């Protein structure tokens, strides 16, 4: 039997899944690492810890391949987008990995957004101005640590750092490059204006290659660390969102992908770039023929975890000997749609789409003396979902109505949340049953790289049939009234976000 290894290099862990040539998952391997938050807004990884995690999952997976007397066809990667590492002339790290979650560039981002150059940059790069992007982070470092930037010989992301270590080639796939705010979607090269503003030369950035590009011939260091054949092809792959779409079968405009995990995202794949005149959505590439249009949201399952921790009755959990999340779902199911007139804005961690404001903060609106913790708990779940619904509506406006919606992520553990998503967006929702998401997408990219498939649409028939949830008429009607109010209140609060964020820092 022949195996493919799909690897997803994430923010707090690396996950790898072995698949057969029919993309059926065989075994999963995980390694976690620390996300360092030593200062306000910081969210960094130690690159050597990520490297060690990747090496461990590869070795563990290959040991399983050997136990089964099988062959490993290829190793393929999905990785977090918008990571940034500064390297010296020997390609050694001068910094940790600044992840997408690092918001220390928020003041720089706010300043740029007030300038006309923001729209120019967005129209050229497809990346909204936000602290998440490497472009904005480089501008912040230019102001905050100019001497560090002067010592920088090369600018990398986590994947190009890994491939440089394993193969001594400094390259990045077009997919990850397109998420940087530094890549021009029109010229398909590094953007001249972004380079000029950051004082970075194109030669300091990785060479851009296709997502199906293979690397061969492990370095001496790679051969010492990895217990696999040195000629095993490594496929560059894509950023996590693009890989996830492939893994869910959402590879054209007919299918939208919605993911709610720790954070959330809404994405649709098209055959051409789509730019939002209001700069609310990103436009990233998978390759020259596939473009990912959508919006990432900071606030998903982590906000729900916060609510469960503070709003679920701990005594009830102890006395009934049930899991807090199970009890929360039971409580939420007993509250009608709309939470008795209570709206929650879930911006506990700032927000990316649709408002792109790192200063945004959460709030309850409509709270009165009749509301209970149960109402508040449901309002939190509804607020997260209506925020996703806001992005979904923008995607619909720009790309058109999808024929199918596929959902994935940790939220699918809750049956009430699955139904709520269908009710809020007013469309049937299919819950993806395939195993792996980003890892599966990476493995599919490997199949294309190896010539086993010619188009990503060939992946869809290999996926398990989704479980579909149909909108409840009454609940959907209720949310049609609440969604505009949710959006209106958010717009009214926007001018106050910077002030409250500043007060919280004192």
- Collapsing DSSP to helix, strand or coil, 4 comes out as strand
Cβ atoms of 441 and 235 within 8 Å: the answer is no
- Cα-based torsion angle of the residue sequence 347, 258, 454, 434 in order, rounded to the nearest 10 degrees: 120
At 436 the pLDDT is: 80
At 218 the pLDDT is: 97
Rounded to whole angstroms, the Cα distance separating 290 from 108 reads: 31
What number is the average pLDDT over the span 396-414?
97
Pairing verdict, β 189-190 and 13-20: unpaired
At 322 the pLDDT is: 78
- Collapsing DSSP to helix, strand or coil, 123 comes out as helix
DSSP run (H or E) holding 30: strand 25-32
At 200 the pLDDT is: 98
Which two structure tokens, joined as six digits, stand for 398? Answer: 């720009």
Is the per-residue pLDDT at 168 higher than 90? yes
At 323 the pLDDT is: 87
- Give tens-digit pLDDT for 171-185: 999 999 999 999 999
pTM higher than 0.85 for the full model? Answer: yes
Question: Among residues of the chain, what percentage have pLDDT more than 70?
Answer: 100
Rounded to whole angstroms, the Cα distance separating 188 from 285 reads: 10
Taking CA 233 as the corner, what is the angle to CA 55 and CA 59, rounded to the nearest 5 degrees?
25
- Collapsing DSSP to helix, strand or coil, 178 comes out as coil
Is the per-residue pLDDT at 453 higher than 90? yes
- Give tens-digit pLDDT for 46-91: 999 999 999 999 999 999 999 999 999 999 999 999 999 999 999 9
At 319 the pLDDT is: 75
Question: Among residues of the chain, what percentage have pLDDT more than 90?
Answer: 96
- Give tens-digit pLDDT for 130-149: 999 999 999 999 999 999 99
- Please give the C-alpha separations between residue 191 and each of 85, 182, 486, in angstroms, as whole numbers: 19, 5, 37
At 252 the pLDDT is: 98
User: What mean pLDDT value characterizes the chain?
Assistant: 97
Most confident stretch, 311-315, 324-328, 392-396: 392-396
Please name each of the domains of the chain with its CATH number: 2-248+433-462 (3.30.420.40), 301-429+474-499 (3.30.420.40)
């Amino acid at each position: 039997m022949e195996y493919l290894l799909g690897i997803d290099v994430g923010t707090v862990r690396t996950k790898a899944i072995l698949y057969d040539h029919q993309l059926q998952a065989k075994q999963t391997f995980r390694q976690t690492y620390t996300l360092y938050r030593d200062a306000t807004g910081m969210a960094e990884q130690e690159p050597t810890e990520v490297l060690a995690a990747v090496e461990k999952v590869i070795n563990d997976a290959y040991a399983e391949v050997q136990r089964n007397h099988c062959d490993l066809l290829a190793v393929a990667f999905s990785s977090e987008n918008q990571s940034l590492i500064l390297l010296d002339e020997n390609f050694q790290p001068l910094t940790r990995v600044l992840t997408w979650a690092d918001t220390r560039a928020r003041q720089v981002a706010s300043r740029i957004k007030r300038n006309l150059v923001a729209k120019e940059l967005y129209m050229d790069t497809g990346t909204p101005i936000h602290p998440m992007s490497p472009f904005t982070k480089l501008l912040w470092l230019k102001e905050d640590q100019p001497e560090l930037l002067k010592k920088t010989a090369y600018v990398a992301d986590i994947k190009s750092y890994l491939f440089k270590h394993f193969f001594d080639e400094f390259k990045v796939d077009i997919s990850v490059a397109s998420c940087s705010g530094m890549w021009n979607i029109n010229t398909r090269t590094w953007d001249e204006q972004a380079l000029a503003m950051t004082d970075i030369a194109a030669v300091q950035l990785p060479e851009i290659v296709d997502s199906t590009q293979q690397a061969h011939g492990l370095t001496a260091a790679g051969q010492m660390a990895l217990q696999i054949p040195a000629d095993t092809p490594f496929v560059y792959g894509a950023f996590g969102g693009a890989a996830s779409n492939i893994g869910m079968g959402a590879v054209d405009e007919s299918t939208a992908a919605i993911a709610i995990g720790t954070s959330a995202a809404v994405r649709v794949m098209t055959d051409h770039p789509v730019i939002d005149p209001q700069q609310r959505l990103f436009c990233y590439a998978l390759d020259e023929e596939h473009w990912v249009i959508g919006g990432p949201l900071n606030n998903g399952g982590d906000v729900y975890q916060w609510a469960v921790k503070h709003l679920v009755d701990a005594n009830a959990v102890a006395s009934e000997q049930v899991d807090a999340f199970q009890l929360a779902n039971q409580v939420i199911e007993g509250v009608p749609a709309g939470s008795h007139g209570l709206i929650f804005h879930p911006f506990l961690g700032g927000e990316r789409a649709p408002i792109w404001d790192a200063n945004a903060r959460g709030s309850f609106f409509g709270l009165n003396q009749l509301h209970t913790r149960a109402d508040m708990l449901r309002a939190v779940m509804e607020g997260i979902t209506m925020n996703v619904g806001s992005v979904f509506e923008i995607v619909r406006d720009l790309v058109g109505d999808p024929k199918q919606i596929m959902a994935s992520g940790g939220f699918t553990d809750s049956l009430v949340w699955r139904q709520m998503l269908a009710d809020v967006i007013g469309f049937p929702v299919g819950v993806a049953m395939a195993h792996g998401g980003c890892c599966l997408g990476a493995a599919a990219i490997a199949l294309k790289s190896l010539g086993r498939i010619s188009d990503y649409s060939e992946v869809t028939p290999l996926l398990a049939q989704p479980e579909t949830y149909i909108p409840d008429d009454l609940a959907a009607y209720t949310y049609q009234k609440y969604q505009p109010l949710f959006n209106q209140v958010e717009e009214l609060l926007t001018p106050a976000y910077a002030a409250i964020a500043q007060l919280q820092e004192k």
